[in-house]
Amino acid sequence: MRAGRGGAGGMKLAVAFDHKGVELRDAVLEALEGHEVIDLGTHDGSVRVDYPDKAREIGERIQSGEAERAVLVCGSGVGAAVAACKMAGIRAAICHDVYSAHQGVEHDDMNVLCLGSEVVGAAVARELVAAFVAARFNTVEPRYAARLEKVAALEKEMKHGEVAASQAR
């Protein structure tokens, strides 16, 4: 794990890549210059690294407060998003367009950006990461906070895919 790669005043972000996602590694790290980066690897695409393992590492860094947000990259971005969203408090989404990368933070307080190295190239990845990091959750419009509270309540009510007994009545 390497922390640093940026100066004071930047956001604390974790990054992780599976064996396919590593193809965007340099572009993602380049886009995060000026921020404190917790680099969770992988550094080598020749050894299989499973995205659920990287999703757990990313989620744990956010849950502990070590990182404010994260970027998680696999081949399509889909598996990374599915796995990351299984963790409490993680709001991950696959974004392959700039609008979604910033709107997901502004309206939904997205804290994990998932990318697919087989879907976007380095230039687009840099744009997506920059939009994600620059965005801030909209606290002016109360509807966004209210929706986020509903999402948190849903997460709390659900247990292993079933509504908790107290909510099932």
Is the pLDDT at 101 greater than 80, yes or no? yes
Tokens representing 111? 């804290």
Q: What digits encode the pLDDT tens for the residues 112-162?
A: 999 999 999 999 999 999 999 999 999 898 999 999 999 988 888 886 555
Q: Tens of pLDDT along 49-75?
A: 999 999 999 999 999 999 999 999 999
pLDDT given at position 52: 97
Of 64, 85, 66, the closest CA to residue 15 belongs to 66
pLDDT, residue 158, reads 80
- Strands (DSSP E) along 42-111, which ranges? 69-74, 92-94
* DSSP state letters, 16-59: EE-TTGGGGHHHHHHHTTTSEEEE-----TTS---HHHHHHHHH
Say which residue the tokens 């998932």 belong to: 114
- In this predicted model, which residue has the larger pLDDT, 25 or 158? 25
The CATH number fitting domain 12-138, selected from 3.40.50.12240, 3.40.1400.10, 3.10.290.10, 3.40.50.1240: 3.40.1400.10
- Known catalytic residues are 74, 107
Q: pTM value?
A: 0.88
